[in-house]
Structure 1
Amino acid sequence: MSRNRKTIGRTFTPSTFSHIANNENSQIFTLSSGSKVEFTLVTVPAEEVEIGTFVVQEVNGRDQAALTPESLKDITRTLPMQQFFPAIGVRRNNKIEILDGSRRRAAAILCHTKLTVLVTEEALSVDDARNLAKDIQTAREHNIREVGLRLLALKNSGLSQKEIAESEHLSQAKVTRALQAAAVSGEMLSVFPVQSELSYQDYKALYSAEALIHAQGETVSEIITQLKEDIDAIRHQAQAAEDEIKDKLVALFRQKSASLTQPKGEETVVTSLWRFEDKNRFARKKSKGRMFSYEFNRLPTELQVEIDNAVQQVLEKHLTK
Protein backbone atom coordinates (compact mmCIF):
# COMPACT_ATOMS: atom_id res chain seq x y z
CA MET A 1 0.00 0.00 0.00
CA SER A 2 1.33 3.47 -0.90
CA ARG A 3 2.30 5.61 2.09
CA ASN A 4 0.99 8.70 0.25
CA ARG A 5 -2.52 7.35 0.02
CA LYS A 6 -4.95 9.13 2.35
CA THR A 7 -6.61 6.72 4.74
CA ILE A 8 -10.35 6.98 5.21
CA GLY A 9 -11.77 6.24 8.68
CA ARG A 10 -9.98 5.24 11.86
CA THR A 11 -6.26 4.50 11.48
CA PHE A 12 -4.26 2.20 13.75
CA THR A 13 -0.73 3.54 13.88
CA PRO A 14 2.41 1.65 14.97
CA SER A 15 1.96 3.18 18.42
CA THR A 16 -1.51 1.68 18.60
CA PHE A 17 -0.54 -1.81 17.41
CA SER A 18 2.85 -3.29 18.28
CA HIS A 19 3.46 -4.87 14.87
CA ILE A 20 6.37 -7.33 15.00
CA ALA A 21 7.36 -8.39 11.49
CA ASN A 22 10.06 -11.04 11.46
CA ASN A 23 10.28 -14.73 10.69
CA GLU A 24 9.85 -15.76 14.33
CA ASN A 25 6.60 -13.83 14.61
CA SER A 26 4.93 -14.72 11.34
CA GLN A 27 3.30 -17.85 10.00
CA ILE A 28 2.18 -19.08 6.59
CA PHE A 29 -1.28 -20.63 6.27
CA THR A 30 -2.57 -22.45 3.19
CA LEU A 31 -6.15 -21.46 2.36
CA SER A 32 -8.85 -23.78 1.02
CA SER A 33 -8.40 -22.10 -2.37
CA GLY A 34 -4.77 -23.28 -2.37
CA SER A 35 -3.11 -19.90 -2.00
CA LYS A 36 -0.59 -19.28 0.81
CA VAL A 37 -0.98 -16.26 3.06
CA GLU A 38 1.38 -14.80 5.64
CA PHE A 39 0.07 -13.91 9.10
CA THR A 40 2.11 -11.61 11.37
CA LEU A 41 1.86 -11.31 15.14
CA VAL A 42 0.15 -8.12 16.34
CA THR A 43 -0.58 -6.94 19.88
CA VAL A 44 -3.83 -5.01 20.32
CA PRO A 45 -3.72 -2.80 23.45
CA ALA A 46 -6.51 -3.28 25.99
CA GLU A 47 -8.19 0.03 25.17
CA GLU A 48 -8.37 -0.88 21.45
CA VAL A 49 -9.66 -4.47 21.62
CA GLU A 50 -13.38 -3.68 21.58
CA ILE A 51 -13.29 -0.97 18.91
CA GLY A 52 -10.31 -2.21 16.91
CA THR A 53 -11.45 -5.81 16.43
CA PHE A 54 -14.76 -7.38 15.43
CA VAL A 55 -16.34 -10.76 14.76
CA VAL A 56 -18.61 -11.91 11.94
CA GLN A 57 -20.56 -14.76 13.49
CA GLU A 58 -21.29 -16.48 10.17
CA VAL A 59 -17.53 -16.67 9.52
CA ASN A 60 -16.21 -17.27 13.05
CA GLY A 61 -18.96 -19.73 13.92
CA ARG A 62 -19.09 -18.85 17.63
CA ASP A 63 -22.43 -17.64 19.03
CA GLN A 64 -21.40 -14.23 20.31
CA ALA A 65 -24.55 -13.79 22.39
CA ALA A 66 -23.51 -16.85 24.41
CA LEU A 67 -20.20 -15.32 25.52
CA THR A 68 -21.31 -14.43 29.03
CA PRO A 69 -18.91 -13.74 31.92
CA GLU A 70 -19.86 -17.12 33.39
CA SER A 71 -19.02 -18.97 30.17
CA LEU A 72 -15.63 -17.24 29.89
CA LYS A 73 -14.37 -17.98 33.41
CA ASP A 74 -11.84 -20.52 32.13
CA ILE A 75 -10.18 -17.77 30.04
CA THR A 76 -10.64 -14.69 32.23
CA ARG A 77 -8.90 -16.56 35.05
CA THR A 78 -5.59 -16.69 33.14
CA LEU A 79 -5.74 -14.10 30.34
CA PRO A 80 -4.61 -11.11 32.44
CA MET A 81 -1.41 -13.07 33.19
CA GLN A 82 -0.79 -14.72 29.82
CA GLN A 83 -2.44 -15.59 26.52
CA PHE A 84 -1.46 -19.13 25.57
CA PHE A 85 -2.47 -18.95 21.88
CA PRO A 86 -2.87 -15.91 19.63
CA ALA A 87 -6.18 -15.25 17.94
CA ILE A 88 -6.25 -15.34 14.12
CA GLY A 89 -7.52 -12.38 12.11
CA VAL A 90 -7.61 -10.49 8.84
CA ARG A 91 -7.35 -6.72 8.56
CA ARG A 92 -10.42 -5.18 6.98
CA ASN A 93 -11.10 -1.44 6.76
CA ASN A 94 -8.41 -0.63 9.34
CA LYS A 95 -9.86 -3.07 11.86
CA ILE A 96 -9.13 -6.73 12.56
CA GLU A 97 -11.81 -9.33 11.91
CA ILE A 98 -11.27 -12.22 14.34
CA LEU A 99 -11.56 -15.50 12.44
CA ASP A 100 -10.55 -17.68 15.39
CA GLY A 101 -10.39 -16.55 19.02
CA SER A 102 -13.64 -14.69 19.66
CA ARG A 103 -13.76 -16.14 23.20
CA ARG A 104 -10.29 -14.76 23.85
CA ARG A 105 -11.39 -11.41 22.40
CA ALA A 106 -14.51 -11.30 24.62
CA ALA A 107 -12.43 -12.24 27.66
CA ALA A 108 -9.88 -9.52 26.88
CA ILE A 109 -12.70 -6.96 26.76
CA LEU A 110 -14.05 -8.19 30.10
CA CYS A 111 -10.59 -8.15 31.73
CA HIS A 112 -9.52 -4.96 29.95
CA THR A 113 -6.28 -6.59 28.84
CA LYS A 114 -4.32 -6.74 25.59
CA LEU A 115 -4.96 -9.32 22.88
CA THR A 116 -2.34 -10.92 20.62
CA VAL A 117 -3.49 -11.79 17.10
CA LEU A 118 -1.86 -13.35 14.05
CA VAL A 119 -3.07 -10.99 11.31
CA THR A 120 -2.91 -11.07 7.53
CA GLU A 121 -3.13 -7.99 5.34
CA GLU A 122 -4.35 -10.08 2.39
CA ALA A 123 -7.96 -9.73 1.24
CA LEU A 124 -9.55 -13.10 2.04
CA SER A 125 -12.78 -14.24 0.41
CA VAL A 126 -15.68 -15.12 2.72
CA ASP A 127 -15.28 -18.81 1.83
CA ASP A 128 -11.53 -18.78 2.52
CA ALA A 129 -12.09 -16.95 5.82
CA ARG A 130 -14.87 -19.31 6.92
CA ASN A 131 -12.90 -22.44 6.03
CA LEU A 132 -9.75 -21.13 7.69
CA ALA A 133 -11.69 -20.33 10.87
CA LYS A 134 -13.08 -23.87 10.90
CA ASP A 135 -9.67 -25.46 10.23
CA ILE A 136 -7.77 -23.64 12.99
CA GLN A 137 -10.32 -23.82 15.79
CA THR A 138 -8.27 -23.92 19.00
CA ALA A 139 -10.90 -23.04 21.61
CA ARG A 140 -13.86 -25.07 22.83
CA GLU A 141 -15.58 -27.20 20.22
CA HIS A 142 -18.61 -25.42 18.82
CA ASN A 143 -21.84 -26.64 20.37
CA ILE A 144 -24.82 -27.89 18.37
CA ARG A 145 -26.43 -24.43 18.26
CA GLU A 146 -23.28 -22.74 16.98
CA VAL A 147 -23.03 -25.39 14.27
CA GLY A 148 -26.69 -24.66 13.49
CA LEU A 149 -26.12 -20.91 13.23
CA ARG A 150 -23.34 -21.52 10.71
CA LEU A 151 -25.54 -23.96 8.75
CA LEU A 152 -28.44 -21.49 8.89
CA ALA A 153 -26.36 -19.01 6.90
CA LEU A 154 -25.87 -21.70 4.25
CA LYS A 155 -29.59 -22.51 4.28
CA ASN A 156 -30.46 -18.83 3.86
CA SER A 157 -28.12 -18.71 0.87
CA GLY A 158 -30.42 -21.18 -0.89
CA LEU A 159 -28.87 -24.56 -0.12
CA SER A 160 -31.14 -27.47 0.80
CA GLN A 161 -30.48 -29.49 3.95
CA LYS A 162 -29.23 -32.35 1.79
CA GLU A 163 -26.80 -30.02 0.00
CA ILE A 164 -25.66 -28.58 3.34
CA ALA A 165 -25.03 -32.07 4.72
CA GLU A 166 -22.96 -32.99 1.67
CA SER A 167 -20.92 -29.78 1.62
CA GLU A 168 -20.21 -29.88 5.36
CA HIS A 169 -19.65 -33.67 5.54
CA LEU A 170 -22.43 -34.05 8.10
CA SER A 171 -25.36 -36.44 8.32
CA GLN A 172 -28.75 -35.01 7.40
CA ALA A 173 -29.92 -35.92 10.91
CA LYS A 174 -27.21 -33.75 12.48
CA VAL A 175 -28.07 -30.89 10.13
CA THR A 176 -31.71 -31.14 11.23
CA ARG A 177 -30.76 -31.17 14.92
CA ALA A 178 -28.35 -28.27 14.52
CA LEU A 179 -30.88 -26.11 12.67
CA GLN A 180 -33.50 -26.88 15.32
CA ALA A 181 -31.07 -25.74 18.03
CA ALA A 182 -30.37 -22.57 16.06
CA ALA A 183 -34.12 -21.90 15.88
CA VAL A 184 -34.36 -21.35 19.66
CA SER A 185 -34.50 -17.60 20.21
CA GLY A 186 -31.56 -15.74 21.68
CA GLU A 187 -34.01 -14.12 24.08
CA MET A 188 -34.88 -17.46 25.69
CA LEU A 189 -31.23 -18.50 25.82
CA SER A 190 -30.22 -15.19 27.43
CA VAL A 191 -31.30 -16.48 30.86
CA PHE A 192 -28.74 -19.31 30.74
CA PRO A 193 -25.41 -18.18 32.26
CA VAL A 194 -23.39 -20.88 30.42
CA GLN A 195 -25.11 -21.82 27.17
CA SER A 196 -22.41 -24.33 26.25
CA GLU A 197 -23.91 -26.63 28.92
CA LEU A 198 -27.05 -27.06 26.81
CA SER A 199 -27.34 -30.40 25.02
CA TYR A 200 -29.39 -31.19 21.93
CA GLN A 201 -32.15 -32.60 24.16
CA ASP A 202 -32.20 -29.28 26.05
CA TYR A 203 -32.48 -27.29 22.81
CA LYS A 204 -35.24 -29.65 21.66
CA ALA A 205 -37.15 -29.05 24.91
CA LEU A 206 -36.68 -25.27 24.66
CA TYR A 207 -37.73 -25.31 20.99
CA SER A 208 -40.95 -27.13 21.93
CA ALA A 209 -41.53 -24.81 24.89
CA GLU A 210 -41.14 -21.75 22.69
CA ALA A 211 -43.56 -23.19 20.13
CA LEU A 212 -46.17 -23.70 22.89
CA ILE A 213 -45.61 -20.18 24.20
CA HIS A 214 -46.24 -18.65 20.75
CA ALA A 215 -49.20 -20.98 20.12
CA GLN A 216 -50.90 -19.58 23.23
CA GLY A 217 -50.41 -16.01 22.06
CA GLU A 218 -47.66 -15.27 24.59
CA THR A 219 -44.14 -13.97 23.97
CA VAL A 220 -40.87 -15.23 25.40
CA SER A 221 -40.27 -11.79 26.87
CA GLU A 222 -43.57 -11.94 28.80
CA ILE A 223 -42.80 -15.44 30.09
CA ILE A 224 -39.34 -14.41 31.26
CA THR A 225 -40.87 -11.45 33.10
CA GLN A 226 -43.42 -13.74 34.78
CA LEU A 227 -40.66 -16.16 35.82
CA LYS A 228 -38.12 -13.50 36.83
CA GLU A 229 -38.11 -14.31 40.56
CA ASP A 230 -37.72 -18.05 39.93
CA ILE A 231 -35.03 -17.48 37.30
CA ASP A 232 -33.05 -15.18 39.60
CA ALA A 233 -33.34 -17.65 42.47
CA ILE A 234 -31.99 -20.49 40.30
CA ARG A 235 -29.17 -18.44 38.75
CA HIS A 236 -27.92 -17.23 42.12
CA GLN A 237 -27.64 -20.60 43.84
CA ALA A 238 -24.03 -20.24 44.93
CA GLN A 239 -23.40 -23.94 45.53
CA ALA A 240 -25.08 -25.25 42.38
CA ALA A 241 -22.97 -26.55 39.48
CA GLU A 242 -23.38 -25.01 36.01
CA ASP A 243 -25.19 -28.07 34.63
CA GLU A 244 -27.56 -28.13 37.62
CA ILE A 245 -28.52 -24.50 37.03
CA LYS A 246 -29.05 -25.28 33.36
CA ASP A 247 -31.27 -28.30 34.14
CA LYS A 248 -33.44 -26.27 36.53
CA LEU A 249 -33.90 -23.43 34.03
CA VAL A 250 -34.86 -25.84 31.23
CA ALA A 251 -37.34 -27.57 33.56
CA LEU A 252 -38.78 -24.18 34.53
CA PHE A 253 -39.50 -23.29 30.88
CA ARG A 254 -40.96 -26.73 30.20
CA GLN A 255 -43.30 -26.51 33.19
CA LYS A 256 -44.36 -22.97 32.36
CA SER A 257 -45.06 -23.71 28.69
CA ALA A 258 -46.99 -26.87 29.63
CA SER A 259 -49.10 -24.90 32.11
CA LEU A 260 -50.18 -22.55 29.31
CA THR A 261 -52.09 -25.40 27.65
CA GLN A 262 -53.97 -26.28 30.85
CA PRO A 263 -57.47 -24.93 31.49
CA LYS A 264 -57.24 -21.51 33.07
CA GLY A 265 -57.94 -21.55 36.78
CA GLU A 266 -57.27 -19.07 39.48
CA GLU A 267 -53.77 -17.68 39.12
CA THR A 268 -51.28 -17.45 41.93
CA VAL A 269 -50.62 -13.84 42.90
CA VAL A 270 -47.18 -13.12 44.34
CA THR A 271 -46.73 -9.98 46.44
CA SER A 272 -43.30 -8.84 47.58
CA LEU A 273 -43.30 -7.83 51.25
CA TRP A 274 -39.80 -6.31 51.31
CA ARG A 275 -37.17 -5.35 48.75
CA PHE A 276 -33.66 -6.69 49.48
CA GLU A 277 -30.39 -5.77 47.79
CA ASP A 278 -29.35 -9.43 47.93
CA LYS A 279 -31.25 -11.22 45.13
CA ASN A 280 -31.17 -14.48 47.09
CA ARG A 281 -33.20 -13.00 49.97
CA PHE A 282 -36.95 -12.50 49.77
CA ALA A 283 -40.08 -12.01 51.81
CA ARG A 284 -43.28 -12.55 49.86
CA LYS A 285 -46.90 -13.63 50.03
CA LYS A 286 -48.51 -16.05 47.57
CA SER A 287 -52.30 -16.06 47.13
CA LYS A 288 -54.51 -18.36 45.06
CA GLY A 289 -58.22 -18.15 45.68
CA ARG A 290 -58.85 -18.65 49.39
CA MET A 291 -55.41 -20.14 49.98
CA PHE A 292 -52.35 -18.07 50.83
CA SER A 293 -48.84 -18.57 52.18
CA TYR A 294 -45.85 -16.53 53.23
CA GLU A 295 -42.34 -17.32 52.00
CA PHE A 296 -39.04 -16.09 53.40
CA ASN A 297 -35.46 -16.88 52.42
CA ARG A 298 -32.12 -16.13 54.07
CA LEU A 299 -33.50 -14.18 57.00
CA PRO A 300 -31.63 -14.06 60.35
CA THR A 301 -32.69 -16.58 63.00
CA GLU A 302 -33.71 -13.77 65.35
CA LEU A 303 -36.07 -12.36 62.73
CA GLN A 304 -37.56 -15.81 62.06
CA VAL A 305 -38.31 -16.19 65.77
CA GLU A 306 -40.02 -12.77 65.89
CA ILE A 307 -42.10 -13.60 62.80
CA ASP A 308 -43.15 -16.92 64.38
CA ASN A 309 -44.15 -15.14 67.59
CA ALA A 310 -46.07 -12.44 65.72
CA VAL A 311 -48.00 -15.02 63.68
CA GLN A 312 -48.81 -16.98 66.85
CA GLN A 313 -50.06 -13.86 68.63
CA VAL A 314 -52.31 -12.88 65.73
CA LEU A 315 -53.76 -16.39 65.49
CA GLU A 316 -54.46 -16.47 69.23
CA LYS A 317 -56.07 -13.04 69.09
CA HIS A 318 -58.50 -13.93 66.32
CA LEU A 319 -59.10 -17.66 66.79
CA THR A 320 -59.03 -18.23 70.54
CA LYS A 321 -62.57 -18.54 71.86
Structure 2
Amino acid sequence: MSNKRVTIGRTFSQTPITNEESGDYAPTFVLSTGKKAHFRLERIAAKDIEEKTFVLMETNGRDQAGLTPDSLRDIIRTIKLQQFFPAIGVRQGDKIEVLDGSRRRAAALYCKTGLDILVTETAITAQEARRLADDIQTAREHNLREVGLRLLALKNGGLSQKDIAEAQGMSQAKVTRALQAASVPADLIALFPNHSELTHPDYKALLLASEKLLEIGQSTEALVETISMDVDQVCAREGLAEDEIKNGILRLIRNGSQTLIDSPAKEKVVSSNLWTFADKDRFARKKTRGRMFSYEFNRQSKELQDELDRVINATLDKYLNK
Protein backbone atom coordinates (compact mmCIF):
# COMPACT_ATOMS: atom_id res chain seq x y z
CA MET A 1 0.00 0.00 0.00
CA SER A 2 1.42 3.41 -0.93
CA ASN A 3 2.10 5.90 1.86
CA LYS A 4 2.55 8.83 -0.52
CA ARG A 5 1.07 11.98 0.95
CA VAL A 6 -1.33 14.35 -0.72
CA THR A 7 0.44 17.57 -1.74
CA ILE A 8 -0.73 20.46 0.39
CA GLY A 9 -0.89 24.03 -0.92
CA ARG A 10 -1.16 25.79 -4.24
CA THR A 11 0.74 24.68 -7.31
CA PHE A 12 1.29 26.84 -10.38
CA SER A 13 1.27 25.03 -13.71
CA GLN A 14 0.96 27.92 -16.15
CA THR A 15 4.39 27.49 -17.70
CA PRO A 16 5.72 30.51 -19.60
CA ILE A 17 6.22 29.93 -23.34
CA THR A 18 9.29 31.50 -24.92
CA ASN A 19 9.15 32.93 -28.41
CA GLU A 20 11.87 30.77 -29.91
CA GLU A 21 11.46 32.11 -33.46
CA SER A 22 12.57 35.62 -32.52
CA GLY A 23 14.94 34.55 -29.76
CA ASP A 24 13.40 37.16 -27.45
CA TYR A 25 12.08 36.25 -24.05
CA ALA A 26 8.34 36.53 -24.70
CA PRO A 27 6.39 34.36 -22.27
CA THR A 28 2.66 33.72 -22.36
CA PHE A 29 0.72 33.31 -19.12
CA VAL A 30 -2.69 31.68 -18.91
CA LEU A 31 -4.96 33.78 -16.70
CA SER A 32 -7.48 32.44 -14.20
CA THR A 33 -10.27 32.98 -16.75
CA GLY A 34 -8.44 30.97 -19.41
CA LYS A 35 -7.43 34.05 -21.38
CA LYS A 36 -3.81 34.22 -22.55
CA ALA A 37 -1.65 37.27 -21.91
CA HIS A 38 1.50 37.78 -23.98
CA PHE A 39 4.43 39.58 -22.38
CA ARG A 40 7.61 41.19 -23.74
CA LEU A 41 10.72 42.25 -21.89
CA GLU A 42 11.32 45.99 -21.44
CA ARG A 43 14.14 47.89 -19.76
CA ILE A 44 12.94 50.93 -17.84
CA ALA A 45 15.65 53.54 -17.36
CA ALA A 46 16.43 54.56 -13.79
CA LYS A 47 15.16 58.11 -14.35
CA ASP A 48 11.80 56.81 -15.66
CA ILE A 49 10.91 54.15 -13.06
CA GLU A 50 9.06 56.42 -10.64
CA GLU A 51 7.12 58.19 -13.38
CA LYS A 52 6.37 55.27 -15.69
CA THR A 53 5.62 52.48 -13.16
CA PHE A 54 3.34 52.20 -10.14
CA VAL A 55 2.14 49.63 -7.62
CA LEU A 56 -1.34 49.07 -6.24
CA MET A 57 -1.60 47.51 -2.80
CA GLU A 58 -4.92 45.93 -3.79
CA THR A 59 -3.22 43.90 -6.53
CA ASN A 60 0.39 43.50 -5.43
CA GLY A 61 -0.38 42.95 -1.76
CA ARG A 62 2.90 44.36 -0.37
CA ASP A 63 3.01 47.41 1.87
CA GLN A 64 5.19 49.85 -0.05
CA ALA A 65 5.78 51.95 3.06
CA GLY A 66 7.63 49.00 4.55
CA LEU A 67 10.16 48.85 1.69
CA THR A 68 12.97 50.63 3.53
CA PRO A 69 16.67 50.37 2.59
CA ASP A 70 17.16 47.94 5.49
CA SER A 71 14.34 45.66 4.33
CA LEU A 72 15.70 45.77 0.77
CA ARG A 73 19.32 45.16 1.75
CA ASP A 74 19.49 41.73 0.05
CA ILE A 75 18.25 43.06 -3.29
CA ILE A 76 20.20 46.32 -3.10
CA ARG A 77 23.39 44.28 -2.74
CA THR A 78 22.85 42.56 -6.12
CA ILE A 79 20.63 44.75 -8.29
CA LYS A 80 23.49 47.19 -8.87
CA LEU A 81 25.25 44.39 -10.77
CA GLN A 82 22.37 42.35 -12.22
CA GLN A 83 18.67 41.71 -11.87
CA PHE A 84 18.17 37.97 -11.65
CA PHE A 85 14.42 37.94 -12.41
CA PRO A 86 12.35 40.55 -14.29
CA ALA A 87 9.36 42.17 -12.64
CA ILE A 88 5.92 41.49 -14.13
CA GLY A 89 3.61 44.30 -15.18
CA VAL A 90 0.58 45.28 -17.23
CA ARG A 91 0.35 48.47 -19.26
CA GLN A 92 -2.28 50.86 -17.99
CA GLY A 93 -2.43 53.81 -20.40
CA ASP A 94 1.05 55.33 -20.58
CA LYS A 95 2.18 53.67 -17.35
CA ILE A 96 2.99 50.12 -16.18
CA GLU A 97 1.34 48.60 -13.12
CA VAL A 98 3.79 46.28 -11.37
CA LEU A 99 1.99 43.05 -10.44
CA ASP A 100 5.08 41.28 -9.10
CA GLY A 101 8.48 42.74 -8.27
CA SER A 102 7.68 45.80 -6.16
CA ARG A 103 10.75 45.10 -3.97
CA ARG A 104 12.94 45.02 -7.09
CA ARG A 105 11.30 48.28 -8.23
CA ALA A 106 11.95 49.95 -4.86
CA ALA A 107 15.57 48.72 -4.81
CA ALA A 108 16.13 50.03 -8.35
CA LEU A 109 14.77 53.42 -7.30
CA TYR A 110 17.06 53.51 -4.28
CA CYS A 111 20.13 52.46 -6.28
CA LYS A 112 19.23 54.66 -9.27
CA THR A 113 19.54 51.75 -11.67
CA GLY A 114 17.32 50.46 -14.47
CA LEU A 115 14.55 47.87 -14.05
CA ASP A 116 13.82 44.85 -16.27
CA ILE A 117 10.10 44.17 -16.49
CA LEU A 118 7.91 41.81 -18.51
CA VAL A 119 4.99 43.87 -19.79
CA THR A 120 1.70 42.82 -21.36
CA GLU A 121 -0.57 44.99 -23.47
CA THR A 122 -3.45 42.57 -22.92
CA ALA A 123 -6.43 44.09 -21.11
CA ILE A 124 -6.57 42.39 -17.71
CA THR A 125 -9.37 42.80 -15.22
CA ALA A 126 -8.62 43.61 -11.58
CA GLN A 127 -9.61 40.08 -10.59
CA GLU A 128 -7.36 38.51 -13.24
CA ALA A 129 -4.50 40.79 -12.17
CA ARG A 130 -4.87 39.82 -8.50
CA ARG A 131 -4.91 36.12 -9.34
CA LEU A 132 -1.92 36.43 -11.67
CA ALA A 133 -0.02 38.35 -9.01
CA ASP A 134 -0.81 35.61 -6.47
CA ASP A 135 0.39 32.90 -8.87
CA ILE A 136 3.66 34.52 -9.86
CA GLN A 137 4.64 35.80 -6.42
CA THR A 138 6.37 32.54 -5.53
CA ALA A 139 9.53 34.00 -4.00
CA ARG A 140 9.66 33.79 -0.20
CA GLU A 141 12.26 34.57 2.38
CA HIS A 142 14.27 31.55 3.41
CA ASN A 143 12.71 29.84 6.39
CA LEU A 144 14.62 29.39 9.64
CA ARG A 145 15.84 25.88 8.77
CA GLU A 146 17.09 26.95 5.33
CA VAL A 147 19.06 29.75 6.97
CA GLY A 148 20.36 27.29 9.56
CA LEU A 149 21.55 24.79 6.95
CA ARG A 150 23.56 27.54 5.28
CA LEU A 151 25.02 28.64 8.62
CA LEU A 152 25.75 25.02 9.56
CA ALA A 153 28.06 24.77 6.56
CA LEU A 154 29.95 27.81 7.87
CA LYS A 155 30.13 26.29 11.35
CA ASN A 156 31.43 23.02 9.93
CA GLY A 157 34.02 25.08 8.09
CA GLY A 158 35.47 26.18 11.41
CA LEU A 159 33.68 29.46 12.18
CA SER A 160 32.36 30.09 15.68
CA GLN A 161 28.77 31.20 16.19
CA LYS A 162 30.07 34.67 17.06
CA ASP A 163 32.06 34.80 13.81
CA ILE A 164 29.02 33.61 11.84
CA ALA A 165 26.80 36.26 13.43
CA GLU A 166 29.26 39.02 12.55
CA ALA A 167 29.85 37.79 9.00
CA GLN A 168 26.14 37.38 8.25
CA GLY A 169 24.94 40.52 10.01
CA MET A 170 22.78 38.50 12.42
CA SER A 171 22.38 38.44 16.16
CA GLN A 172 23.96 35.49 17.95
CA ALA A 173 20.49 34.56 19.20
CA LYS A 174 19.18 34.23 15.64
CA VAL A 175 22.22 32.17 14.66
CA THR A 176 21.52 29.84 17.60
CA ARG A 177 17.85 29.49 16.63
CA ALA A 178 18.72 28.81 12.99
CA LEU A 179 21.33 26.18 13.90
CA GLN A 180 18.81 24.47 16.20
CA ALA A 181 16.34 24.32 13.31
CA ALA A 182 19.02 22.85 11.04
CA SER A 183 19.83 20.19 13.65
CA VAL A 184 16.34 18.64 13.57
CA PRO A 185 16.55 15.24 11.81
CA ALA A 186 15.43 15.49 8.19
CA ASP A 187 13.00 12.58 8.50
CA LEU A 188 10.97 14.54 11.06
CA ILE A 189 10.94 17.66 8.88
CA ALA A 190 9.78 15.55 5.92
CA LEU A 191 6.54 14.76 7.78
CA PHE A 192 5.38 18.36 7.26
CA PRO A 193 3.99 19.27 3.82
CA ASN A 194 4.80 22.97 4.24
CA HIS A 195 8.09 23.57 6.03
CA SER A 196 7.60 27.34 6.04
CA GLU A 197 4.83 26.91 8.63
CA LEU A 198 7.35 25.71 11.22
CA THR A 199 8.40 28.30 13.79
CA HIS A 200 11.34 28.40 16.19
CA PRO A 201 9.30 26.84 19.07
CA ASP A 202 8.26 24.07 16.67
CA TYR A 203 11.86 23.32 15.68
CA LYS A 204 12.88 23.43 19.33
CA ALA A 205 10.17 20.90 20.27
CA LEU A 206 11.18 18.60 17.39
CA LEU A 207 14.85 18.77 18.37
CA LEU A 208 13.99 18.00 22.01
CA ALA A 209 11.90 14.98 21.00
CA SER A 210 14.71 13.59 18.82
CA GLU A 211 17.30 14.11 21.57
CA LYS A 212 15.17 12.30 24.16
CA LEU A 213 14.71 9.36 21.79
CA LEU A 214 18.45 9.24 21.22
CA GLU A 215 19.09 9.15 24.96
CA ILE A 216 17.12 5.90 25.34
CA GLY A 217 18.55 4.28 22.24
CA GLN A 218 15.51 4.89 20.06
CA SER A 219 15.60 6.41 16.59
CA THR A 220 13.51 9.00 14.81
CA GLU A 221 13.06 6.38 12.07
CA ALA A 222 11.13 4.24 14.56
CA LEU A 223 8.97 7.24 15.45
CA VAL A 224 8.25 8.05 11.80
CA GLU A 225 7.32 4.43 11.13
CA THR A 226 4.96 4.48 14.12
CA ILE A 227 3.04 7.64 13.18
CA SER A 228 3.36 7.84 9.36
CA MET A 229 -0.12 6.49 8.62
CA ASP A 230 -1.69 8.91 11.10
CA VAL A 231 0.26 11.76 9.50
CA ASP A 232 -1.10 10.75 6.09
CA GLN A 233 -4.63 10.95 7.45
CA VAL A 234 -4.06 14.43 8.85
CA CYS A 235 -2.59 15.66 5.55
CA ALA A 236 -5.47 14.22 3.54
CA ARG A 237 -8.18 15.68 5.75
CA GLU A 238 -10.21 18.26 3.86
CA GLY A 239 -10.86 21.72 5.22
CA LEU A 240 -7.78 21.99 7.42
CA ALA A 241 -5.65 25.12 7.18
CA GLU A 242 -1.89 24.69 6.85
CA ASP A 243 -1.24 25.70 10.45
CA GLU A 244 -3.85 23.18 11.64
CA ILE A 245 -2.11 20.44 9.67
CA LYS A 246 1.22 21.46 11.20
CA ASN A 247 -0.19 21.43 14.72
CA GLY A 248 -1.82 18.03 14.15
CA ILE A 249 1.50 16.52 13.04
CA LEU A 250 3.30 18.10 15.99
CA ARG A 251 0.81 16.44 18.35
CA LEU A 252 1.41 13.07 16.70
CA ILE A 253 5.17 13.48 17.06
CA ARG A 254 4.87 14.55 20.69
CA ASN A 255 2.55 11.68 21.62
CA GLY A 256 4.41 9.10 19.55
CA SER A 257 7.81 10.00 20.99
CA GLN A 258 6.42 9.91 24.53
CA THR A 259 5.06 6.42 23.90
CA LEU A 260 8.47 5.22 22.73
CA ILE A 261 10.14 6.89 25.73
CA ASP A 262 7.71 5.22 28.17
CA SER A 263 8.38 1.80 26.64
CA PRO A 264 11.99 1.90 25.43
CA ALA A 265 13.27 -0.80 23.14
CA LYS A 266 15.22 -3.64 24.73
CA GLU A 267 18.95 -3.47 24.33
CA LYS A 268 20.22 -5.55 21.46
CA VAL A 269 22.32 -8.63 22.01
CA VAL A 270 25.74 -8.29 20.43
CA SER A 271 27.42 -11.55 19.49
CA SER A 272 31.13 -11.89 18.64
CA ASN A 273 33.00 -15.00 17.58
CA LEU A 274 35.97 -16.09 19.70
CA TRP A 275 37.10 -18.66 17.16
CA THR A 276 36.16 -19.60 13.60
CA PHE A 277 35.46 -23.28 12.85
CA ALA A 278 35.03 -24.99 9.50
CA ASP A 279 32.06 -26.91 10.92
CA LYS A 280 29.08 -24.53 11.22
CA ASP A 281 27.69 -26.50 14.20
CA ARG A 282 30.79 -25.75 16.29
CA PHE A 283 31.20 -22.33 17.82
CA ALA A 284 32.92 -20.38 20.55
CA ARG A 285 31.38 -16.94 21.05
CA LYS A 286 30.68 -14.17 23.51
CA LYS A 287 27.28 -12.47 23.86
CA THR A 288 26.80 -9.01 25.35
CA ARG A 289 23.65 -7.09 26.24
CA GLY A 290 24.22 -3.92 28.21
CA ARG A 291 26.16 -4.93 31.34
CA MET A 292 25.38 -8.62 30.91
CA PHE A 293 27.70 -10.96 29.03
CA SER A 294 28.04 -14.71 28.53
CA TYR A 295 30.25 -17.23 26.74
CA GLU A 296 28.82 -20.03 24.61
CA PHE A 297 30.57 -23.12 23.28
CA ASN A 298 29.23 -26.02 21.28
CA ARG A 299 30.75 -29.38 20.25
CA GLN A 300 34.03 -28.75 22.06
CA SER A 301 36.21 -31.44 23.63
CA LYS A 302 36.01 -32.43 27.31
CA GLU A 303 39.64 -31.38 27.69
CA LEU A 304 38.87 -27.84 26.43
CA GLN A 305 35.87 -27.57 28.76
CA ASP A 306 37.99 -28.64 31.74
CA GLU A 307 40.71 -26.14 30.85
CA LEU A 308 38.15 -23.30 30.49
CA ASP A 309 36.68 -24.19 33.90
CA ARG A 310 40.13 -24.07 35.46
CA VAL A 311 41.03 -20.72 33.88
CA ILE A 312 37.66 -19.13 34.74
CA ASN A 313 37.81 -20.29 38.36
CA ALA A 314 41.37 -19.05 38.71
CA THR A 315 40.44 -15.68 37.21
CA LEU A 316 37.39 -15.26 39.45
CA ASP A 317 39.50 -16.14 42.49
CA LYS A 318 42.12 -13.60 41.46
CA TYR A 319 39.74 -10.66 41.02
CA LEU A 320 36.87 -11.40 43.42
CA ASN A 321 38.41 -13.22 46.38
CA LYS A 322 39.91 -10.13 48.00
TM-score range, shorter chain: 0.3 to 0.5
TM-score between both structures, scaled by the size of structure 1: 0.43
TM-score (norm 2): 0.43
Rg comparison, structure with higher value:
2
